Amino acid sequence: MEHQHEHQHHEMPEMTGHQHDKHHNADHGSDQHMGHAGHDHYAMIADFRKRFYVVLVLTIPILLLSPMIQHWLHWQLSFSGSQYILFVLSSIVFVYGGWPFLTGWFSEMKAKNPGMMTLIGFAITVAYVYSAATVFGLKGMDFFWELATLILIMLLGHWIEMKSVAGASRELELLVQLMPSDAHLVHGEHIMDVKTDTLKENDLILIKPGEKIAADGLVEEGDSYLNESMLTGESAPVQKTKGQKVIAGSVNGNGSLKIRVTHSGKDSYLFKVVDLVRSAQEAKSNTQLLADKAARWLTLIALLAGIATFVVWISLGRDLAFAMERMVTVIVICCPHALGLAVPLVVAKSTSLSAQHGLLIKNRTAFENARKITSIVFDKTGTLTKGKFEVSRIVAGDGQNEDEIIRLAGALESNSEHPIATGITAEATKRKLKLPLASDFKAITGRGVEAIVEQKRIMVVSPGYLEENKVQLPANYNQAGNETVVFVLIDDQMAGFIALADTVRPESADAIATLHENGIKSLLLTGDNKQVAESVSEQLRMDGFFAEVLPHQKLEKIKDLQQKGEFVAMTGDGVNDAPALAQADIGIAVGSGSDIAAETAGIVLVNSNPKDIVKLILFGKATYRKMIQNLSWATGYNVVTIPLAAGVLYDQGILLSPAIGAVLMTVSTVVVAINASLLKVKT
């Protein structure tokens, strides 16, 4: 899948465009990393606020000096030259208050991309030029007061709207601020404080109780519980002991840890998350492109409708002032503000929310298409199951006990990295057994291991070895579908057997049940044997399974489903699943830590929790719903208000002034912003 990383220039170039572009200098420390763009954005918000207050102060005398307002209020305030004072005050409002809109209009014209600013700039210029002409001799009624209130409300609208956009981006800044700025570098006997961004691979750092982890790494010394909730959405603290991975930005509990750095600051998991979130916010999806197209059309319609309104009223014999006012109102009301923001606000909100819940969206379109999924294909190991062998039961022969069998088997297996070996040694550790030393260690190819322990010859072997050597199976031997069994022989005598299984995650059953409730089929795809696959599939009540599938065949299975008309999501841990992840309509890579899994996936789940996949689909649906609600509102509002602004109901006494038009436009934008901010991840 391609990553559509075009920059997002929707209808407000001077406002949101540069929010993104400056973010990509990732080689700064955490503060600077965000810094410039964030500060620019807040400086702009402050600028709009200042312009709003200046215009507000000037609008009061403009209103008092306007003949129309005096006529309505039945009072008189007129002195020689009053219209010139009105002209000067209005000129200041036009130039100072209207400056952002006029410069925006100019840059849109230069980019040959007329939009929001073109409409506002055109409307206020027409109003100003016409009103100025009336002061210097043109017959007609000025509308300086409408110009002033129009600019005032536009500034307020922009200010409110920029604050809501900043709110969505701020969640991203919070992610960056998770990185502590300093770290304690262990240098022989000394500990010195250094800046986090100077840390290199293989540095040793000390994390004191309650501090944030400064870099991704492996625990070299110590034992503590870490809170990783902001990174993974997982609320329970996670125990970390020697050799385990830690993620930068997680918060240490009450133990102290020494960490061997595996990634420098800018390669850390957290920065990758931030960059992913950022590029996802910038990437355009189909819905976004639709909104952009609609906004462009609306700009053209606005200009044409405005000019048509002017022509119609003039030809009906109305005066120039009335026709001008109608034209300006139509153009203002038409501003595709709400439309330009309908999707970007939801995008900004959804990507940062997702990141906080351990869902990393690399491809926006894949995320929005999550609502179409009809089948999910799960890789078994590590997704639905824990991905590691655990001892499920120990059966001891005559005169033996369970601890003794594990102790002797553990002595042999402690040298091996094999999943079965690690399962047995983990069980010995759990039972707090001290493992004796083994000598004369030999591997029996494909069949097991043997060694001398405490002067006895101990063997840990597979059922295949018993068959080949005609060794009698124990009388009490039985095997469950998803178990792997090894036998322990002491001096060639059967001592008992150990059954191990890759246990199903407790969350898997709930996840599959929720998928069924939402009408989505779940299928298991595994390289394991049929017996194991069937056992897991039945236990979780899945819709089917494919067993003994080799990596290159996974792709074929996905293709087969697609040819049957299914919209397929594939989840896998990335390495052997890459081709299948790429083939699937939506590839979801699972796997925590810094190795943000397979490039081929459109979405990455930080935790390997199957419940997150369900969360992702439901959140994708909710996000899409919000976008459509916003688009419907933004277009519906224009369909209703444009005819009113043009004066269709003039005979019924309904007429909108430019200021009312501006209020309606601002309200429409605020409705869209509030609706976007109500988006939530169901947990």
pLDDT per residue as tens digits for the range 378-400? 876 667 877 677 888 888 887 78
* pLDDT reported for residue 72: 65
Measured CA to CA, the distance from residue 167 to residue 417 in angstroms comes to 49
Strands 603-605 and 586-590: parallel
Upper half-sphere CA count for residue 611 (Cβ side, 13 Å): 13
What the block records as the tokens of 14 is 């001077």
Please tell me whether the overall predicted TM-score, pTM, comes out greater than 0.75 for this model. Answer: no
Q: What is the dihedral of CA 123, 299, 3, 231, to 10 degrees?
A: 50
Q: 527 pLDDT exceeds 80? A: no
User: Where does the pLDDT of residue 167 fall: very low under 50, low under 70, confident under 90, or very high at 90 and above?
Assistant: low
User: Where does the pLDDT of residue 592 fall: very low under 50, low under 70, confident under 90, or very high at 90 and above?
Assistant: very low
What the block records as the tokens of 95 is 């130039």
Query: pLDDT digits over 110-129, tens only?
Result: 887 777 678 778 878 887 88
Mean per-residue pLDDT, 12-26: 33
Query: pLDDT digits over 464-518, tens only?
Result: 888 888 888 887 787 776 677 889 999 988 889 998 887 788 888 999 999 999 9
Phi then psi dihedrals of residue 631, to 5 deg:
-65, -40
* pLDDT reported for residue 241: 86
Query: pLDDT digits over 427-445, tens only?
Result: 898 898 888 888 888 877 6
3-state helix, strand, coil in the chain (%, to 5): 55, 15, 30
How much is the mean pLDDT over the chain? 78
Identical fold between 182-267 and 386-504:
no
Domain ranges of the chain: 13-174+276-352+671-677, 182-267, 386-504
- CATH number 3.40.50.1820 given to 182-267: no
Most confident segment among 237-251, 307-321, 573-587, 635-649? 307-321
What positions carry a catalytic annotation? Answer: 379
Measured CA to CA, the distance from residue 278 to residue 264 in angstroms comes to 20
Residue range 386-504, CATH number: 3.40.1110.10
